[in-house]
Structure 1
Amino acid sequence: MTKYTILLLFLSGLHQLGYSQENEIDRWDNWLLVGNKVVLGGRSSFKHSHELQMRVNNNMQSLKEWFYEGVFTFSPNQNWELVPDFRASVKPDKMDYRIGLGAIRKFNVIQNEKLKRQFVNQLKYQIDVDGSGTTRHGLRLVLTYNYIVNEKLIVSGLFGPFYRWSEQFTGVEFVRGGPAITYVFNDYNTFAFAPLFGAGNIAPDGWSYSFTPMLSIIIRLNNNYKYLPAKYINF
């Protein structure tokens, strides 16, 4: 009788172990973000940019979305920027639309009449609407530090949380941050690489994590700005 009891307990333990492994949550993913942005204007207090970006996840094997984003920037002075934007995203199962309104406070450190360092604080509210009419709200804060090494190289660090509220979820939805390196080809063309890391809230199962490198080519059609623009990443 004791032998049968031990055997049953052993088989039961194997079953529970197998069930646990089958239902284990994969808490790590590798993304890739690739974008191309064109910036126009800036001779006055106004400029605007237009970007196409593709995002893949599932260890860089599945298309998560691609989107168009238009950003309008008004600079009342050298310290502030008001930034409304619009994003239309194409996902495998639906369309998403996002309208945002942000304010940027920048602190420029000038040495020998050249920009040497820049601190950028970005605060933005956004409303997201999908194809079925579901509405969600969000608030993001992103802090960026830019160090201009020389005329060709800019090294940056950024960090920011995103707070979401909707009928389905309310709380910090994700946090993202990391370094960024920008190579300046000339006054009009730059290339940025940002190996970012993120943490996403998958409540009630805790958090998942990701490596999210971003590659971006930026083309400026003007290099004579009224105010030095803020250098930051929209993620």
Structure 2
Amino acid sequence: MAYRIFFLYSLLLILAVTQGIRAVDYIITNKAANSPGGARFDDEIGVPYSQQTLENATSFIWKIFQQDSPIQRKNVQNITMFIDDMEVGNDAINNQIHVTASYIEGYSGDIKREITGILYHEITHIWQWDGKGHAPRGLIEGIAEYVRLKAGLAPSRDWVTFRHGDRWDQGYDVMARFLNYCDSLKVGFVAQLNKKMRNGYSDQFFDELLGKTVDQLWRDYQAKCG
């Protein structure tokens, strides 16, 4: 009898854990299959690779954000990726990632690596906290590029090196480099900053985590890298 109770308890525990780490469903739709960019997606990237990349990116982001349990994460069960004939750039909104077919068509380098980096960036927007809409846009974009940087997927061209940039919240590669510097001062800084942004945002978060205002940190970063 005791063995049966133990077996049932173990089974329930396994089910609970399984539910906690249940795989997210990734759906990829090529809506531009008849376009040159859509055809290039099918030929050089493909749906299976995109699905695997999104799954790998999700696991990587949870690790970067130190989100070991489902309660620490957004409750996202489905993520859809579209290859579109859009005139706007690549983006993520409402748990959907849109990649422009014309961008795929016109990219002259390793398109598979480039799209991998874009997917890491865009899916970060789905999983990150944004201070309930109050965090600076440059910070939000910078965190997504920071993830791309830590994944070893930073573009080989057009990225700034270290101290270049006009202000700390300039976004994208400038912010990614600055966040990397902040994380070097306190390992896990980006994860802790993201956790703080779950319920709101304040520049004071930098001071609370690192003991200096964000403006002073930016000046230190500029001086150090100079």
TM-score scaled by structure 2? 0.28
Higher helix share: 2
Structure that is richer in strand per residue: 1
Report the structure number with the largest CA radius of gyration.
1
